[in-house]
Chain A
């Protein structure tokens, strides 16, 4: 195993720990840039959808993974973003490129209003409040037809970029790809600097964090607002992708799906959010394509897709609670120290006594 001797504090803040990492990410980038040219519309569309969920999952991971506050109402932020873009582009006729940042800010602003209960509650009670928030937004969508189209939903056209039309799946894929890269870098910047460290400190022990001089209220507010912003942008990208949004798109199932993404991917990790979002979004499509290879009595079986999907998620939670990223780290470590791998390396340590964790 490599041990890195750090000679200054600034080395902790570097974007890439090793120079060799850059090669890997460079290859990944090239792969992603040429992807639509050989993959076809179907897979390009799916990867675009996964990219949008990546942004939302990154935001949720900042809130849940890093700051330790659970949200069961994230679909609502997603919906606010989607409807902001829908309203601005179809009803008011503005450009998508103005609407998209506003979608993020609208969701962030609503996230700010959720801070009031969030500061007073934690754990399961916060989950209930955010869930209630999700239902409220659901109702607002239904009862405000002038803006949201009510139950009828909104039909949204793909945007144009100057003279370029983004109607094809490949062109919109590049828009989303650029956004995902920007948001990954943004997240990386947040979590490796003092703000992100404050998040982690608050998650691990509020008492300890406060006694170190971290303003609890401010940090939690930041986490909620940032998380809302991410989900809003993701929603804003989502609306033109599927061309139609209605209240059915943003139910509690969608919120739970986002939580599943970060749990399966890996909590408190950027890799984890990306792995999880891609895995969960593409899983049902892999099952869809894979089932064609199976005999008809299995592939035409009603509910086959749902059953396989549920089974895979159950197996994950049972056998790899650290998520896909945890498994990735273990495999990487196995190769680094081969043949000296010990099973106990990744056993969880208890860092705080229960009494120290009082909130």
Chain B
């Protein structure tokens, strides 16, 4: 009897120990032996649905490719996309749904800074990482937040790179600088960057012109900048505005150097602007993405894989989503087979000059949550099928 009881104790003890021994192998929420669930929240029915569709389509294609190649450590990626119609309360609801009902492992790519900031407290409470919000807002990574990893260079940095390029590469001597920006958060960031750059180079900032979202007539802004004698114009605009500004400049016969931020570096901008894009002394853009026709291995792969999964030709936003997905997959790979949320965060913190060939080299550390500060410089050329942007220099960061 005594022996039996002792045996019983042993069995219980072994059972207990083995239970704890097995525990670490228990996977995190959203991870099974065969799949990893990832949630994305983009605008599919609101004002910037074309962007949401583009970036989620690009990321989805990359994940499909990875899955067809066998997945990550034998696990397939399940990418669930929610629509928030670009409304922060709906984005928060979508995040709660993904975390609670779908039980996703992490949130990947949220379109819009207001949306990301609104849902962040929810994510932090649940301990769910948010990887690569699709925005260039400076508040994503400043101050650094534990559960948020942001790759894109923000607009403050882009403005500095633009002024740098004008002084160093275009050899402009003490240009009079003007800035035109949309009166909202990213525009204000850009203005701040231009101001800092002017202070650094001791340049004269002769005009600060702002416009409201949706403006189509820029005659007063252009007249003001021209009469101030500006010869370098920094622009933060969206898709339609450059056409209005450049055409107005043609009308008043004004030929400055134009440098534009990322949102206007899509080809459709040039289609709208027509010949007016070539009227000034130069038209450049700071693009956050390497241009795919400047062949690098990542671009070659993208061009080859894209038609396999999509009927439509690829676009700028697809390429962006593709790059984001590449970062995500690299992080999952580095986190290894025993995938946990904390492990994923540690894995992303090991990124040191990781080359995606889509974005600039990405570095994340415990106290540094912005991935890269580098952009390429682009310029438009005339081609047989209309004008398009080409890359005129490699990735470069601000010099100060």
Residues of A participating in the B interface, judged by any CB pair closer than 8 Å: 40-42, 45-46, 49, 142, 150-153, 155, 157, 167, 169, 238, 241-244, 246-249, 284-285, 288-289, 300, 302-307
Provide a sorted-by-A list of 9 A–B residue pairs whose CB atoms are within 8 angstroms.
A42-B96, A45-B92, A150-B185, A150-B188, A153-B185, A243-B121, A244-B117, A288-B97, A307-B45
Q: Determine the distance from Cα of A10 to Cα of B93 in the docked complex, in whole angstroms.
A: 45
Tell me the nearest residue of chain B to A254, going by C-beta.
B87
Contact B185 A40 (CB under 8 A): no
Contacts of B118 in A (CB 8 A): 242-244
Q: A49-B89, A246-B114, A248-B114 given as contacts; is B83 within 8 A of A151 (CB)?
A: no
Which listed residue (A42, A157, A300) contacts B100, Cβ 8 A? A42
Contact A45 B114 (CB under 8 A): no
Tell me the nearest residue of chain A to B60, going by C-beta.
A300
Tell me the nearest residue of chain B to A167, going by C-beta.
B125
Contact B93 A45 (CB under 8 A): yes
Contact B114 A153 (CB under 8 A): yes
Residues of B participating in the A interface, judged by any CB pair closer than 8 Å: 44-46, 49, 52-53, 81-83, 85-90, 92-94, 96-97, 99-101, 114, 117-118, 120-122, 125, 139, 183-185, 187-188
Q: A244-B88, A302-B49, A306-B85 given as contacts; is B93 within 8 A of A151 (CB)?
A: no
Q: Determine the distance from Cα of A41 to Cα of B94 in the docked complex, in whole angstroms.
A: 12
Contact B93 A46 (CB under 8 A): yes
Q: Tell me whether chain B's interface is mostly helix, strand or loop, or mixed.
A: helix
Contact B125 A248 (CB under 8 A): no
A149 CB to closest chain B CB (Å) equals 9
Contacts of A247 in B (CB 8 A): 184
Q: Determine the distance from Cα of A153 to Cα of B114 in the docked complex, in whole angstroms.
A: 8
Knowing that A42-B96, A248-B86 touch, tell me 6 more A-B residue pairs with CB under 8 angstroms: A45-B92, A142-B184, A151-B187, A248-B88, A302-B44, A305-B44
Q: Determine the distance from Cα of A304 to Cα of B44 in the docked complex, in whole angstroms.
A: 8
Contacts of B121 in A (CB 8 A): 157, 243
Q: A167-B125, A288-B83 given as contacts; is B185 within 8 A of A302 (CB)?
A: no
Tell me the nearest residue of chain A to B139, going by C-beta.
A152
Contacts of A49 in B (CB 8 A): 89, 93
Contacts of A303 in B (CB 8 A): 44-45, 49
Most chain A CB neighbours (cut-off 10 Å) among B53, B120, B185: B185
Which listed residue (B86, B93, B187, B188) contacts A42, Cβ 8 A? B93
Contacts of B89 in A (CB 8 A): 49, 238, 241-242, 249
